[in-house]
Amino acid sequence: MESSRRLNKFLSESGICSRREADRLIESGKIIVNGKPGVIGMQVTREDEICYQGKAINKESKEVLLVFNKPRGIVCTGEKREKNNIIDYLDYPIRIFTIGRLDKDSQGLILMTNQGDLVNKILRAGNSHEKEYIVKVDNKITKKFLSKMRSGVPILDTITRPCQVKQIDEYTFNIILTQGLNRQIRRMCTYLGYEVQRLKRIRVMNFELGNLPIGQYRKATNKEMKMLNAAIKNSTSLPIHLN
């Protein structure tokens, strides 16, 4: 028998909005259940017809989490106005969306799912989830540059958190961040007089890009999901972006 869930949880899992925002939509009469305005706390199943803005919302019965190697030039949005949007590029058979972002000029790992609750749990400020990148810059890397990057750089009216930085060759370094400021690595490098030529994300939390070809995706493994569930078990605080 189909299990029921609260209407706000159904909306969150469908990727429409957060549970808090779902409650506001329900209270304002914008969620229609079987032809009538929904009520806070009501139980629903996939058998119910649930509509928002005149369109039916269908929670996928099968939960999906993908590891995708995003090519440069693809934008992490579902906006149809953006011809290079990630949703059209991937053309996955069911409705999915990105967990966080990776800017248009960058390549590498982006997580994609149809689970709204999972998105909310991962994108939490208090968890300090690690994101690892390989970066190539236009000038030779110095000890001073590495030291400044590790200790913190003033960008966007704040100082970046201390992070791990390791030189790979004269122009390339590896960096592990635990925050997601907008275009953070590019801004940090610019402040120090460097320009990023190539930026590739190779890891988010316990998910690694490995040898996944550019433009291809794979499903998360059972081992990865087990580690993820342990990491977000006590997820709290406000959402941030996995830049």
Q: Residues with catalytic annotation? A: 103
Strands 196-204 and 207-208: antiparallel
CB 231 within 8 A of CB 137: no
DSSP category for residue 133 = E
CA-nearest of 17, 62, 66, 35 to 207 is: 66
Q: Estimate the share of the chain in helix, then strand, then coil, as percent rounded to the nearest 5.
A: 25, 30, 50
CA-nearest of 116, 122, 93, 85 to 11 is: 116
Reduced to 3 states, what is the DSSP secondary structure of residue 224?
A: helix
